[in-house]
Amino acid sequence: MNAIEADGLTKRYPPDVQALDGVSFSVPEGTVFGLLGPNGAGKSTTVKVLTTLSTPDSGTARVAGFDVTREAAKVRRAIGVVAQNPGVDGELTGRENLILQGRIHGMPAPELRRRVDQLLEQFGLAEAADRVARGYSGGMKRRLDIAVALVHRPKVLFLDEPTTGLDPEVRAAMWEEIRRLAAEEGLTILLTTHYLEEADELASQLAIVDRGRIVVQGSPEALKGELQGDAVHVELAEPAQNGTATGLLDGVPDVRDVLVEGTVLRARVGNGATALPSVMAALEAASVSVASVTVSRPSLDDVYLRYTGRAFAEADAEASRDSSGEEDR
């Protein structure tokens, strides 16, 4: 059975922002599903609709078997949500944050006390349980956020950009906790992220979102497997002007999907070892200086490039400039 079903969701914000443009996907029970896309792609709007915080202009969605519009109260009882920004009350202790959430959900006092103690231990917060949460580190606050979302034992957990702003060590620890939740507790987890590695590491299935639309979906391995051959990544010594580098490779055998952005040239080749000498010779013959070159197997960045026509990092930077630092739509 599917824990989440979205069908043709649309959402428009005034004056002319099409945040969602026909979003459809389904999430089987007990899986980690990733919504991967740059900032501003529509990931957070999707989560807001699925968690009943926003109403779609059109389309339907069901979470844990309940319609998000007609049965919103039932949806809320069945889900846990970790938003982009920390949701814990800094003036309460870690324990008090958990107790408050349990009381909101009407949990009996004895059961709530046991559950709180269990979660504090499980998330490594037992020693800090009675400290005011504003003094917690960023990683501790994020762990408390997830613990709060799990107090009432939800069926579906939404994690909206859960590791943004965390240092690499804390992020890695958070990945392990997400893996454990999926493996040991059988939770269905919907994870939104703009980190390619995070989606690759955690999601058994994912959908790539771009400009309010899902451009492709499947398992990370299957999506990468569709891209035959190797990826060539060339760092140019200076930006190529007027598409010079792109044109130079048009006649090179076994080279396709050439894209030049600033000082970066990307291309797909059937076999990196045999195609690379021809690529380098074509660039050298036209006096295009190369700073470095790498050949690699397909990545999710290559998948994004194939389906959108632009590199993921450039799309993310473009969205950040357009939104001027605002939260992802």
In a domain, 325, yes or no: no
Which pTM was predicted?
0.85
Q: Which residue has the higher pLDDT, 18 or 323?
A: 18
Answer whether residue 328 is part of any domain.
no
Both structure tokens of 166: 């965390």
If asked whether residues 130 and 20 sit together in one domain, one would say: yes
> Do 64 and 153 belong together in one domain?
yes
For residues 139 and 86, membership in a common domain is answered with: yes
Do residues 116 and 28 share a domain? yes
Q: Do the domain assignments include residue 253? A: yes
**Which pLDDT score is estimated for 322?**
64
- pLDDT value at position 325? 43
Q: Within this chain, do residues 169 and 267 fall inside the same structural domain, yes or no?
A: no
Q: Give which of 192, 155, 156, 208 is closest to 47, Cα–Cα.
A: 192
First to last CA, the chain: 29
At which of 223, 242, 269 does a domain end? Answer: 223
In this structure, the answer to whether residues 251 and 218 fall within a common structural domain is no
Q: For 138-161, write each residue's pLDDT tens digit.
A: 889 999 999 999 999 999 999 999
Peptide bond into 15 cis (omega under 30): yes
- 84/169 same-domain check: yes
pLDDT at 303: 92
Neighbours of 284 (CB within 10 A): 12
91 exposed, middle or buried (CB, 10 Å; 0-12, 13-18, 19+)? Answer: exposed
* In a shared domain, residues 132 and 275: no
Separation in Å, CA 48 to CA 52, 59, 64, 167, 328: 6, 14, 15, 26, 11
* 209 and 114 fall within a common domain: yes
CATH code at position 151: 3.40.50.300
Question: Tell me, what CATH number does 262's domain have?
Answer: 3.30.70.2470
The beta strands (E) that lie in the chain are given as 2-13, 17-28, 32-36, 58-63, 66-67, 79-82, 156-160, 188-193, 205-210, 213-218, 230-236, 255-261, 264-269, 290-296
Domain residues for the domain of 91 are 2-223
Same structural domain, 67 and 211? yes
Of the three residues 223, 242, 261, the one that is the final residue of a domain is 223
Is the separation of the CB atoms in 233 and 204 below 8 Å? no
**Nearest CA-CA partner of 164 in 238, 82, 237:** 82
Rounded to the nearest 10 degrees, how much is the dihedral formed by the CA atoms of 325, 32, 224, 213?
-50
Same domain membership, residue 149 and residue 19? yes
Say how many domains are in the chain. 2
Identify whether residues 111 and 184 lie together within a single domain.
yes
Single residue among 223, 253, 275 that ends a domain in this structure: 223
Q: Which residue has the higher pLDDT, 62 or 15?
A: 62
- Residues 170-207 have pLDDT tens digits of 889 889 989 988 888 889 999 999 999 999 999 999 99
Beta bridge pairs of residue 12: 18
Question: pLDDT-derived band of residue 277, with 50, 70 and 90 as boundaries?
Answer: very high
314 within some domain: no
